[in-house]
């Protein structure tokens, strides 16, 4: 009888995990669709690239500014109610974006998209971490990371089917957010309570508790955004056609999607901290090898592995977050992760581009390699201190 109860509890737990991952996957599709869709629309309106870039930056600014508010919202209104409200508001704001079709009105609206989608994403990730059995946390978070990446990649593919004109693409995104809320509503009663009132931990208060984990998030985010933005520029310097560089980026994303579960399984056998250090080391090695391999066939294998381990830094950090923290500290920690992801995406690409302006294309591997090496050194130093 006791065994049956245990098995039933395990079935309920996996059902809840599946429901939350389904929620986040639909959310990722909607987010992945909105970025290129709005850029295409603005291009047709004759808006300058600089203005398009500023418009797109409003969403991560919304992420950054809303992150410190998430623990308080979860405590005051409940994590489930907050996430469900954010799903509804996301659909509403995206509908307003489709209705206005005005670059200037899109600035505040895209900021609001960041504000209302961030709690949905953060709280869903917290539930997955809290629900994952410790013995299987690596594979669960690996599956989670894989599905998130695949969802973001699938978003632009939806535009191939519905186009980028009129209401159809917006309706896909709106319905995705509504479906996202529906998936969450089905499992919300099974989700663990992560909004406890006692032992309050703020986002700023969490930073000294796990500064190395947060530094890893900044590196992972900055690396990803810098590569997506500047690897094509690096390839042009070496005379590589745009089509080939686009294919290389696709292979890198494929490595990201394909390898998170194997890395998660490896974390279960070793530790998330050790695997994260390995990911940082291999990412640094990729920076060293890039100049030598960029014009050879080996570059295809290099960028596949690069994509896997660079995003693996974030996956391992999430796993370690779940191992070390729970309750309000977990909520604050995950909100801090979102905050640092935004900072990494805003700081590292401009820094890398500036170095490339000074020393040429070599600035890409030099800057990113130096950042990864610094993280690896900090990891070793912290280990020795402890």
- Confidence at residue 196, expressed as pLDDT on a 0 to 100 scale: 60
Residues 6+ apart with CB under 8 A from 158: 29, 33, 169, 172
Measure the CA–CA gap between 144 and 316, rounded to whole angstroms. 12
Residues 6+ apart with CB under 8 A from 101: 41
- Classify residue 238 as exposed, middle or buried by CB count within 10 Å of its CB (0-12, 13-18, 19+): exposed
Measure the CA–CA gap between 48 and 81, rounded to whole angstroms. 40
Q: Is residue 11 classed as helix, strand or coil in its secondary structure? A: helix
Eight-state DSSP code of residue 298: T
**pTM, rounded to two decimals:** 0.83
**Contact indicator for 78, 339 with CB cutoff of 8 Å:** no
- Confidence at residue 188, expressed as pLDDT on a 0 to 100 scale: 85
The tokens of 56 are what? 């797109």
Eight-state DSSP code of residue 78: -
Measure the CA–CA gap between 194 and 127, rounded to whole angstroms. 8
**Residues constituting the chain:** 386
- Confidence at residue 199, expressed as pLDDT on a 0 to 100 scale: 63
- Confidence at residue 350, expressed as pLDDT on a 0 to 100 scale: 85
Q: What is the pLDDT of residues 239-277, one digit of tens each?
A: 888 778 878 888 888 888 889 999 999 999 999 999 999
- Confidence at residue 6, expressed as pLDDT on a 0 to 100 scale: 40
- Confidence at residue 38, expressed as pLDDT on a 0 to 100 scale: 84
The tokens of 264 are what? 């998660």
Measure the CA–CA gap between 316 and 385, rounded to whole angstroms. 21
- Classify residue 249 as exposed, middle or buried by CB count within 10 Å of its CB (0-12, 13-18, 19+): middle
Residues of the chain short of pLDDT 50, as ranges, are 1-12, 385-386
- Confidence at residue 384, expressed as pLDDT on a 0 to 100 scale: 59
Which of 156, 169, 182 lies closest to 250, judged by CA?
156
């Amino acid at each position: 009888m006791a065994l049956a109860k245990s098995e039933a509890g395990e079935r309920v737990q996996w059902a809840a995990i599946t429901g939350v991952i389904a929620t986040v996957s639909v959310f990722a599709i909607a987010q992945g669709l909105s970025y290129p869709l709005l850029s295409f629309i603005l291009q047709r309106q004759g808006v300058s690239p600089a203005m398009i870039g500023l418009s797109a930056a409003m969403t991560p600014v919304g992420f950054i500014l809303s992150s410190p508010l998430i623990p308080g919202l979860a405590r005051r209104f409940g994590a489930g109610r907050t996430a469900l409200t954010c799903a509804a508001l996301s659909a509403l704001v995206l509908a307003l974006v489709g209705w206005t079709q005005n670059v200037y009105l899109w600035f505040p609206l895209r900021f609001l998209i960041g504000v209302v989608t961030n709690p949905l994403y953060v709280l869903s990730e917290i539930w997955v971490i809290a629900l994952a059995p410790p013995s299987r946390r690596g594979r669960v978070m690996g599956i989670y990371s894989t599905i998130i990446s695949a969802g973001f990649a699938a978003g632009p593919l939806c535009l191939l089917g519905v186009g980028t004109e009129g209401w159809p693409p917006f309706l896909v995104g709106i319905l995705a957010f509504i479906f996202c809320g529906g998936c969450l509503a089905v499992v919300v009663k099974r989700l663990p309570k992560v909004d406890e009132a006692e032992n309050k931990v703020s986002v700023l208060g969490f930073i000294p508790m796990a500064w190395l984990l947060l530094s890893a998030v900044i590196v992972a985010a900055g690396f990803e955004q810098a590569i997506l933005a500047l690897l094509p520029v690096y390839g042009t310097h070496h005379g590589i056609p745009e089509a080939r560089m686009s294919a290389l980026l696709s292979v890198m994303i494929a490595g990201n999607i394909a390898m998170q579960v194997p890395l998660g399984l490896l974390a279960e056998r070793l530790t998330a901290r050790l695997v994260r250090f390995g990911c940082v080391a291999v990412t640094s090695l990729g920076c060293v090898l890039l100049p030598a391999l960029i014009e050879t066939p080996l570059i295809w294998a290099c960028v596949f592995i690069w994509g896997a381990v660079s995003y693996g830094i974030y996956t391992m950090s999430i796993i370690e977050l779940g191992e070390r923290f729970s309750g309000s500290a977990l909520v604050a920690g995950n909100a801090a992760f979102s905050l640092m992801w935004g900072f990494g995406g805003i700081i590292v690409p401009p820094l890398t581009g500036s170095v490339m302006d000074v020393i040429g294309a070599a600035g890409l591997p030099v800057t990113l390699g130096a950042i990864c090496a610094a993280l690896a050194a900090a990891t070793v130093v912290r280990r020795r201190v402890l």
